[in-house]
Amino acid sequence: MPTPVSADTLALQRLYHWERTAPDRVVLTQPLGQGVVRDYTWREVMDQSRRMAAHLQSLGLQPGDKVALLAKNTAHWLMADFAIWLGGFVSVPLYPTLAAGTIRQILDHSEARLLFIGKLDGWRGMKSGVPAGMACVGLPLAPDDVQVAYPAWDDITARTAPLKGKPLRDADELSTIMYTSGTTGAPKGVMHSFGTFAWGMSSALKRLPNINSSARMLSYLPLSHVAERTLVEHGLLATGLHVYFAESLETFTADLQRARPTLFFSVPRLWVKFQQGVAAKMPPAKLDRLLKIPILGGIVRRKILTALGLQDCVFAAGGAAPMPPELLRWYKKLGLDLAEVYGMTENCGVSHATLPGRQRPGTVGLPYEGVRCRIDPLTSEIQMQAPCLMLGYYKEAELTRQALTGDGWLHTGDKGALDAEGNLRITGRVKDLFKTSKGKYVAPAPIEDQLVMNMAIEACCVTGANLGQPLALAMLNPAAVKQSADSAGRAELEAALLAHINRINAGLDPHEQLDCLVLMTEAWTVENDLITPTFKVKRSRIEDLFAKNFDRWVGQRSKVIWYSA
């Protein structure tokens, strides 16, 4: 059935609109290193994109062929994607942190005919995943050996005439295949059309205030992830906003202060890091006292937000994981109302969000306009339906069938409930519930939300199937790891975490109370396969890796345990 969208909201039509109406407006700002920054106007963006599109066509690629992108976020990531669409092809973005085996798997499965390779931190460990003989193009800022081994973007665009005219793509035509981050096994290729993204962006904009051509965003979460793809790329196409790019983790604060974003989205993990950075400079109790003082409180708020680069932010949001209510309340005291958004790759990231200025801690708010939501009465699973639903999983008809109910609603895999206002509360994953040996079910997510509010904990996993009581495994952040290096620091850390566990247990039902907290000083990373590229903990992987220790840990009768391999 055709996707009900207006033709002028589709990606290519939006590109032609900005090319015609705002050719000299700066739209992308790219740091090049050593303090050098490069601005791109719509005229330059479209000129380069048209030249690369013409080059792709000259290689003999056929309409609908797949072209892959492996790069961190840059201005040329977007230009490459625009070129793919202008040329009549389908883009396949890859996370810039994938292991070589996963890169090979996705390139093979998607049948990609060409690969754009751009800015990457771990290219040395990735390059064996690129099949020998595969056509590649090196984007600006790609590793040096990529620039040597493959044709370079700048060289190609310098010698290629731009594609003429205004080629169009239908709303129902496949635009991209986005591979999931793999929390539940091998990545699946989620297919989206030009129409699904256009509808999703149109619906989302009705929930976002003051988003127009004067808005600014900092792009730093992977553009291969649905949240960044929707908000940044399709937000750019819809509104003409100004996109700034981050240079590196080390320059992130400076990048934020350069952009002074009016719209900022992040995963909860980064919002927590911001909070911890403030707490490291000013004790929370002192900050609370200062914020209550008239006039001075306003000065303190402004100073903190300016230090974060968020003094001009009119819409701030978190998603991809639950936002602890305590965190929402902390930012609200600073004058920053964080919205919670909920979505997934399969629905363009467009499902629910809290209303601006109307926080509902513990919920992800109301459905976007045109989105329908229901709760399965038997399993409590959240199911949703909207015109932004995926076309299906690429080459996986059976998985596509399993993803949808008989009447066409998406199985989200999340458990939830609706409050009296219709706000959606997510209570965990359908498959994450586990039963203790006492026959009681435990939902780990709400307990994990409380655990990560301690400044020392970077990430955690609550588990305990068939044990008498659940236990928690926690990865310490670098500051806590450093503190634990000497006996006095370790004792202080243990005491603080023991108090934290006791506070949490006091609010839990007896069968939910944590038996112990196991502390780990080795980072959970994409490389060791304990988190996904979007910082989600791989629960099943952690359980498989550490389950052999569970009985021993519980038997120690100690609330805080240090793990050693």
CA dist 203 and 196 (Å) reads: 11
Average pLDDT over residues 463-471: 88
Backbone angles phi and psi of 408, in degrees to 5: 90, 15
| Number of compact structural domains in the chain | 1
Average pLDDT over residues 509-531: 88
> Which range, 128-137, 180-189, 540-549, has the best average confidence (pLDDT)?
128-137
CATH number for the domain harbouring residue 541:
3.30.300.30
Q: List the helix and strand counts (H, then E) for the chain.
A: 21, 26
Average pLDDT over residues 425-432: 80
Tell me the average pLDDT of the chain: 91
Beta strands 135-138; 90-94: pairing state: unpaired
CA dist 50 and 37 (Å) reads: 23
pLDDT of 73 > 60? The answer is yes
Tell me the residue type at 80. Answer: A
Domain membership flag for residue 195: no
Q: Which of residues 244 and 549 earns the better pLDDT score? A: 244
Q: Residue 185: which pLDDT band, with cuts at 50, 70 and 90?
A: low
CA dist 380 and 364 (Å) reads: 16
- Prediction pTM value: 0.84
Segment (H or E) for 417: strand 410-418
Q: What is the pLDDT of residues 360-416, one digit of tens each?
A: 878 899 999 999 999 999 888 999 999 999 999 999 999 999 999 999 999 998 889
Domain membership flag for residue 234: no
Domain membership flag for residue 536: yes
Domain membership flag for residue 62: no
Q: Residue 182: which pLDDT band, with cuts at 50, 70 and 90?
A: low
pLDDT for 1: 43
Tell me the residue type at 473. Answer: L
Segment (H or E) for 444: helix 444-451
Q: What is the pLDDT of residues 188-223, one digit of tens each?
A: 999 999 999 999 999 999 888 678 899 999 999 899
Domain membership flag for residue 462: yes
CA dist 180 and 192 (Å) reads: 13
**Among the listed ranges 216-220, 269-273, 352-356, 521-525, which one has the minimum average pLDDT value?**
269-273
Domain assignment of residue 482, given as a range? 434-562
Domain membership flag for residue 550: yes
CA dist 444 and 441 (Å) reads: 10
pLDDT for 184: 52
Domain membership flag for residue 173: no
Cα distances (Å, whole numbers) of residue 148 to 75, 133, 321: 21, 15, 40
Domain membership flag for residue 78: no
Average pLDDT over residues 345-352: 95
